[in-house]
Structure 1
Amino acid sequence: MSNPVLHAFFLGRAFAEVLSEKIEDTLTNALSDLGKFDAEQREQLRQFIEEVQTRAQRDVTQGNSVSTPGDDGADLQETIDDLRAEIARLKAELKNYRHQQV
């Protein structure tokens, strides 16, 4: 190419095409990762709910009763504490994931 203006035009056009493709690939990958994360979180929530329902049904079937204030409620309190810790852990993981996406 002998004309530098024509050369600059084609160089600029090629640059814009490549940049556009890279941005499209990056956006597609990010949305795909977000979709996977959302699906994984929904599945974990579904499994959690299923486990809670299964345990509750088992306790009802076995005739277990809830601790009353006069009873030793340590097991119930321990379960509540474990659930709170798990929720806090999941919130922290979600926060870390969101910060990685930025």
Structure 2
Amino acid sequence: MNNPVVHAFFVGRAVAEAVNEQVENALTNAFSEIGKFDAEQRESLRQFTIKVTERSDAQMETVMRGRTTTTIVPQGSQPVDLQATIDELRAEVARFRSELQRYRSRSV
């Protein structure tokens, strides 16, 4: 192989193969990082969606616990006197019972 042109050809070919391998490795690594980033973003979005759903459910639960017969009162917006509420409910039941007794006595 004393011919310098042949030697230059093989050197050029080896350089091209080495550059090709470097580009291939760089592209593989870049696509791998893009794939990891995409997966992380999807997981982050999924976690965010779960947190939002949980927060929404918790707020709905809180509102539903504070619900009365006519309005929705968020829990904590008004002081709740449990004994007064129980007394009001008992009085309401007593009123309904007396009205029911009057109705029944008129029907007979």
Under a length normalisation based on structure 1, what TM-score does the superposition of the two structures give? 0.60
Q: Which residue of 2 aligns with 1:85?
A: none
For the pair 1:17 / 2:17, whether they are aligned, the reply is yes
Aligned residues: 68
Counterparts in 2 of 1:34 and 1:21: CA distance versus 1, 3 Å:
same
Counterpart amino acid of residue 14 in structure 2: A
For the pair shown, the structure with the greater C-alpha radius of gyration is 2
Structure 2 unpaired stretches of 5+? 67-71, 78-108
Q: Give the C-alpha shift of residue 58 in structure 1.
A: 0.8
How far does residue 61 in structure 1 lie from its aligned partner after superposition?
1.2
CA displacement at 1:20 relative to structure 2: 0.6
Within the alignment, does 1:48 sit opposite 2:48 as a pair?
Answer: yes
With a CA cutoff of 8 Å and minimum separation of 6, indicate the structure with the bigger relative contact order.
1
> What is the TM-score normalised by the length of structure 2?
0.57
CA RMSD of aligned residues (A): 2.2
AA partner of residue 10 (structure 1) = F
1:66 shift after superposition: 9.2
Query: CA-to-partner distance for each residue in 1:78-102, whole Å, 9 max, x for gaps?
Result: xxxxxxxxxxxxxxxxxxxxxxxxx
Superposed structure 1 runs of 4+ greater than 4 Å apart: 64-67
Once residues 73 and 32 of structure 2 are traced to their aligned partners in structure 1, the CA distance between those partners, rounded to angstroms, is: 44
Q: Is the alpha carbon distance of 1:53 and 1:30 closer, same or farther for their aligned partners in structure 2, counting shifts above 3 Å?
A: same
Q: Provide Cα deviations, 1:48-79, integer angstroms capped at 9, x if missing partner.
A: 01000001101111227798xxx9xxxxxxxx
Which stretches in structure 1 are left out of the alignment for 5+ residues?
72-102
Does 2:15 match 1:8? no
